[in-house]
Amino acid sequence: MTGARVLADGLRFPEGPAFAPDGSLWGVELQGGCLFRLDAAGAVVRVPTGGAPNGLAFDGTGRPWFCDADRGQIRRLDADGTARVMADAGDDRPLDRPNDLAFDPAGTLVFTCPGNSRTEPTGTVWARTPDGTVLRVASGLFFPNGLAFTPDGRELVIAETYRHRLWRGGWDAVARRWTDPAPWVEVGGPIGPDGMAFLAGGTLAVAVFGRSRIVLVAPDGRILGGIDVPGERPTNVAFDPAERHGMVVTEAEQGRLLSFPDVGPGVRLFGR
């Protein structure tokens, strides 16, 4: 396996790597208030949005959706450059620092809201249906963070960062319910699991923030080892559908977008 290749550096807390339907690679700068993409020459093109963009995912029409932690919003970047607010409350309360997001097979957007739940289990998970209804999916978590649907879309995995573990449960795409969720596997600290993505064979790649490592988890929960990352703070992972970049990792300590070209392929995401 070859080492990491640097696709971009000088980024201000990069997060949320995602590939658009046209194959372009996007991400967000949490501390830079913008989305970014790599152009054909590999240069970083920034799209200012304000706020604190975090997770990023593309819908079925190719529009990027992202969490805005500072503004407590789920936003969508439209073709005219407008970052439109798509959700800002649930249960008649403002969303509490939304973090990461993913589309399910039916087009429902599931997202985490850790708020200030590092020491108290006050973190929540929500679902925004295609008609705009926002429903509570889970509560009582210590910093719910990254999330991913299994390749068949029938299960949902969520990182509980400050307990160093992943939860796993069934996903009912009709009722928008996380069924029988339970702690699944501990992946270690010192801080804990962040973003994640599935490989095509069902192995889960999990960025462990503070550990300089992507941990690989087998479908049965066994830890298969990991991949070392230059920099202590990997935040999230994505797989290139074209398999040119392999596994892409955002790393916040050094502000880099990294490529591991020999790792992959990943599964096709449902928003695509």
Give residue-wise pLDDT tens across range 137-161. 999 999 999 999 999 999 999 999 9
Burial class (CB in 10 A: 0-12, 13-18, 19+), 223: middle
Distance separating alpha carbons of residues 38 and 90, to the nearest angstrom:
34
Residue 229 lies in a domain: no
What average pLDDT does the segment 98-117 reach?
A: 97
| Total tally of structural domains belonging to the chain | 1
The encoded tokens of residue 215 equal: 């941990």
Distance separating alpha carbons of residues 182 and 265, to the nearest angstrom:
28
Residue 1 lies in a domain: no
Q: What is the pTM of this model?
A: 0.97
User: Does the structure show a pLDDT above 80 at 100?
Assistant: yes
Distance separating alpha carbons of residues 84 and 205, to the nearest angstrom:
31
pLDDT in tens, 32-72: 999 999 998 999 999 999 999 999 999 999 999 999 999 99
- 179: number of Cβ within 10 Å: 12
Residue 199 lies in a domain: no
Residue 81 lies in a domain: yes
- Strand pairing category for 64-68 and 73-77: antiparallel
Per the model's pLDDT, the better-predicted residue between 105 and 268 turns out to be: 105
What average pLDDT does the segment 7-27 reach?
A: 97
Residue 250 lies in a domain: no
Residue 96 is predicted with a pLDDT of 97
The encoded tokens of residue 238 equal: 């994505």
Residue at 127: amino acid letter: A
How many degrees, rounded to 5, is the angle at CA 62 between CA 61 and CA 68? 115
Residue 210 lies in a domain: no
User: Does the structure show a pLDDT above 70 at 1?
Assistant: no
Contact 206, 146 (CB under 8 A): yes
Contact 87, 132 (CB under 8 A): yes
The residue written with tokens 């920099």 in the block is: 231
Give the CATH number for residue 112.
2.120.10.30
pLDDT in tens, 232-271: 999 999 999 999 999 999 999 999 999 999 999 999 887 7
Distance separating alpha carbons of residues 70 and 30, to the nearest angstrom:
9
Closest CA to 207 of 140, 128, 149, 148: 148
Biggest distance spanned by C-alpha atoms of the chain = 50
Distance separating alpha carbons of residues 230 and 213, to the nearest angstrom:
8
Distance separating alpha carbons of residues 208 and 8, to the nearest angstrom:
20
- Backbone φ and ψ of 153, nearest 5°: 75, 5
Residue 109 is predicted with a pLDDT of 98
First-to-last CA distance in the chain? 29
Contact 84, 129 (CB under 8 A): no
Residue 272 is predicted with a pLDDT of 55
Q: Residue 177: which H helix or E strand, with range? A: strand 177-186
Residue 84 is predicted with a pLDDT of 97
Mean pLDDT score across all residues of the chain:
96
Q: Which domain holds residue 50?
A: 13-192
Residue 257 lies in a domain: no
pLDDT in tens, 160-184: 999 999 999 999 999 999 999 999 9
Burial class (CB in 10 A: 0-12, 13-18, 19+), 48: middle
Residue 268 lies in a domain: no
User: Does the structure show a pLDDT above 70 at 4?
Assistant: yes
User: Does the structure show a pLDDT above 80 at 217?
Assistant: yes
Residue 69 is predicted with a pLDDT of 97
User: Does the structure show a pLDDT above 70 at 2?
Assistant: no
Q: How confident is the model at residue 3 (pLDDT cuts 50, 70, 90)?
A: confident
What average pLDDT does the segment 121-140 reach?
A: 97
